[in-house]
Structure 1
Amino acid sequence: MSDQIRSLTLSHVVLPIANPVSDAKVLTGRQKPLTETVLLFVEVTTTQGLSGVGFSYSKRAGGKAQFAHLKEVAEAAIGQDPSDIAKIYESLMWAGASVGRSGVATQAVAALDVALWDLKAKRADLPLAKLLGSYRDSCRVYNTSGGFLQASLEEMKEKASASLETGIAGIKIKVGQPDWRLDLERVAAMREHLGDTPFMVDANQQWDRARARRMCRELEQHDLVWIEEPLDAWDAVGHADLSREFDTPIATGEMLTSVPEHMALVDAGYRGIVQPDAPRIGGITPFLRFATIAAHHGLALAPHYAMEIHLHLAAAYPTEPWVEHFEWLDPLFDESIEIRDGRIFVPQRPGLGFTLSDEMRAHTQDTVTFSA
């Protein structure tokens, strides 16, 4: 007899950020400083006694909506075979079809989808990367958390040096300020400070097409690994045009919440770096669907945030990817990830390789359980 999903526990978790940060969206007045990460955790157990854990997240808004949406549709998964992940995914999409197949709907379902992949790898007694078919046991890693715009130039330099001393390979900083001259000054100063260290910048969608072309042209001299989100995230044609016009690679995709939204980049002739985010695109199932297409088109990969999930997915991508390092979620898990010599290493424990910490429980504001 096949296994069945016996119970699902959903947890709404609010994790404060010790030092609030601001990117260009704050300086242009479009958002408030980031003070917390709101997470949706799913713990799944089966009739054969197996378990899995997954999560999704939101910043600034949407966390409560994710929790509420999954509460409405999660019961559709009860009694299903947990190995039939694609089938379960489709059933949850149909259960919430009236609100569409992107945005909050996919981000909510993502937490359960990730939990099912964690469970499946645990059933096989393999790290998730090995279950998927990994190409490598570690990936290049860069840090973003030290490069936000509320930090002074000296503070950014200090944080970058500290990150490199821990074994991080690359550094990314935020740009996109209303005064573009300040961006250029900070980038030039950081390039001088970093020497030959791999260096990326992120404009967080704050340039129009004309400004983006001018900034990309000015930034060519700094030998950047990439220029991230120079345009609105849904301007596929604009990003594709920039990716063909400049030598410095363009990177985008972190904000997109479905495979079709990512496919718009491919259809527009995009030649840059894709940055799908598993919790945002809808989970590991849709992430893998798009990753296959991206690899077919020869696109480089650098998944966004959530390194606890993306490290496994990056290890299973054909060409060498970058993984983004944020320490913000560390308190939620009992285990840490090994970083050394510029690389972040796939945990050798089964599944994602993480268990939820007491601190995660302490930050849980609401929870609900569904059971057969």
Structure 2
Amino acid sequence: MAMQGGLETGEATVDRIAWVKLSLAFLPLKRPISDAKVLTGRQKPLTEVAILFCELESRNGAKGHGFSYSKRAGGPGMFAHAKEISGELIGEDPNDIARIWEKLVWAGASVGRSGLATQAIAAMDIALWDMKAKRANLPLAKLLGAHRDTVQAYNTSGGFLSSPIEEVLESCAALKEKGIGGVKIKVGQPDPMVDLKRVEAVRKLLGDAFPVAVDANQQWDRPTAMRVGRALEPMNLFWIEEPLDAYDAEGHARLAAALDTPVATGEMLTSVAEHYELIRNDSVDFIQPDAGRVGGITQFLKIAAMADFKGLKMAPHFAMEIHLHLCAAYPREPWVEHFDWLEPLFDERLELKNGRMIVPNRPGLGFTISEQARAWTVDSHEAGRRP
């Protein structure tokens, strides 16, 4: 068999990647956003999101695009790493996604197989899945095998600590009217009593049955998480998110065993191995992987398989444009996180109805990159030659 810059040529090889384009864009937020990490002095308010886009085209004319992101620092680093390894895609059959992922991660293995390296790979991996679904003329959820055509959706963007409680309540009321299925508000302030009062106000507004969750963004220690978690039990929350440091699998396991309220975490982890620690230690009731952080859809599906085997529920972090499809393909009823921040990056919009987000019937992810996203682009790189 002959080599053509990638996979050995065989009868089953149907196409080749001919062209790759990477773009780095910065999405400005309408106002600075703060959570508990800002109040503890560990981070500055969030003002923009760095987006790494990947666009692919094959010799036979198949196209795909994907993206990953970074909040605060890291965007230029992701772009630089992706740029350095993107040439490895040229000449490969775009259908062999798992093998290509391994090739990409080992191309940069000296800097690790998690963190910034996998976040850079994620944009390329997601673009390959988008291409494969478009080639099949199927929405990505249907290519993977959907269990549902709509997914429960909750909103986070209206409950940040940078918003006074009056504004949070106004946002919650509007979201419920719009058709959202639940809301999540931020906690983790220096005085837990302030958190409790904010949660009580939201619960009183929305009623006892409406799904409400809280998110401490890793800023509690173990005793605080236990005390506040017990104080929150009467609020009938559908989960407490990131009560402890993301890597404290043992602490989360103790908390999950002690509380009736479900515990959720996983969004900050950047590898399958890190999520496996949570899963095997019974650290969570809801696992929250982020395809853009763990290395794309290929790695996300490994986490999903382990989580399903362990009987866990799932609520992926951020990027609803990607995670809606992955939630639709998860066997157990999941939640998708509604964040409208990324909407200006795309021409299409997702729909909400009766508390659920509707899986679009468009092929692939179902999105095209907007002219606004092009205008926010600060750097780009191409490998190969467009057919």
The normalised TM-score by structure 2 is 0.95
Matching residue of 1:103: 115
Matching residue of 2:377: 364
Matching residue of 2:230: 217
Instruction: State the one-letter code of the partner of 2:54.
Output: V
Matching residue of 1:347: 360
1:329 aligned onto 2:342 = yes
Instruction: State the one-letter code of the partner of 1:327.
Output: D
Does the 8 Å contact 2:36/2:217 carry over to 1? yes
Q: Distance in 2 between matches of 1:272 and 1:135?
A: 20
Residue from 237, 244, 253 that aligns with 2:250 = 237
Instruction: State the one-letter code of the partner of 2:37.
Output: K
Instruction: State the one-letter code of the partner of 2:290.
Output: D
Matching residue of 1:305: 318
Residue from 177, 192, 195 that aligns with 1:183 = 195
Does the 8 Å contact 1:54/1:115 carry over to 2? yes
Q: Distance in 2 between matches of 1:269 and 1:217?
A: 19
Q: Distance in 2 between matches of 1:365 and 1:287?
A: 29
Matching residue of 1:132: 144
1:80 aligned onto 2:92 = yes
Matching residue of 1:248: 261
Q: Distance in 2 between matches of 1:79 and 1:51?
A: 15
Q: Distance in 2 between matches of 1:186 and 1:118?
A: 41
Deviation at 1:346, TM superposition (A): 0.6
Q: Higher mean Cα deviation, 265-274 or 39-48? A: 265-274
Unaligned runs of 5+ in 1: none
- Alpha carbon RMSD of aligned pairs, Å? 0.7
Q: Distance in 2 between matches of 1:257 and 1:5?
A: 26
- Count of aligned positions: 372
Identity of matched residues, %: 61
Task: Give 1:274-289 correspondences, 5 Å limit.
Answer: 274-289=287-302
- Partner of 2:57, secondary structure, is strand
Deviation at 1:48, TM superposition (A): 0.3
Deviation at 1:271, TM superposition (A): 4.3
Does the 8 Å contact 1:244/1:271 carry over to 2? no
1:320-343, Cα deviation, whole Å (9 max, x unpaired): 100000000000100001111100
1:181-226, Cα deviation, whole Å (9 max, x unpaired): 1111111111111112100000000000011000110010100000
Deviation at 1:280, TM superposition (A): 0.4
Does the 8 Å contact 1:52/1:118 carry over to 2? yes
Change over 3 Å in CA distance of 1:271–1:34 after alignment to 2:
closer
- Partner of 1:9, secondary structure, is strand
Q: Distance in 1 between matches of 2:85 and 2:380?
A: 15
Q: Distance in 1 between matches of 2:99 and 2:74?
A: 26
Deviation at 1:270, TM superposition (A): 2.5
Deviation at 1:275, TM superposition (A): 0.3
Instruction: State the one-letter code of the partner of 1:367.
Output: S
The normalised TM-score by structure 1 is 0.99
- Partner of 1:15, secondary structure, is strand
Change over 3 Å in CA distance of 1:56–1:271 after alignment to 2:
closer
Deviation at 1:269, TM superposition (A): 2.3
Structure 1 segments (4+ residues) deviating >4 Å: none
Q: Distance in 1 between matches of 2:159 and 2:48?
A: 17
